[in-house]
Amino acid sequence: MLNFDEELKKFRPSLEIEDAEEIIYNQDIDDMSDVLVKLLKEAKVEADTAKRSKQ
């Protein structure tokens, strides 16, 4: 039968997972907002171009 307390004492997290966590947490969160700002600017340019072509 397993002794969960003993197994927990033996537990060591994988180094690869710790490295991945560090990389993920150090990512710049502004990336999504940058994409949204770019899309809004492009939509505005397209709207302005469409408006000019109708005049």
CA 7 to chain centre: 34
Question: What is the structure's pLDDT at 17?
Answer: 79
User: Given its phi and psi angles, is residue 2 left (phi above 0), alpha (psi -120 to 50 degrees) or beta?
Assistant: beta
Q: What is the DSSP string of 7-51?
A: HHHH----HHHHHHHHHHHTS-THHHHHHHHHHHHHHHHHHHHHH
**pTM: predicted TM-score of the whole model, two decimal places:** 0.44
User: Which residues form the domain of 15?
Assistant: 4-54
Question: What is the structure's pLDDT at 30?
Answer: 67
Structural domain total, the chain = 1
Question: What is the structure's pLDDT at 40?
Answer: 95
Residue 1, pLDDT above cutoff 90: no
For 6-49, the pLDDT digits (tens) are 999 998 877 787 788 888 777 766 678 888 999 999 999 999 99
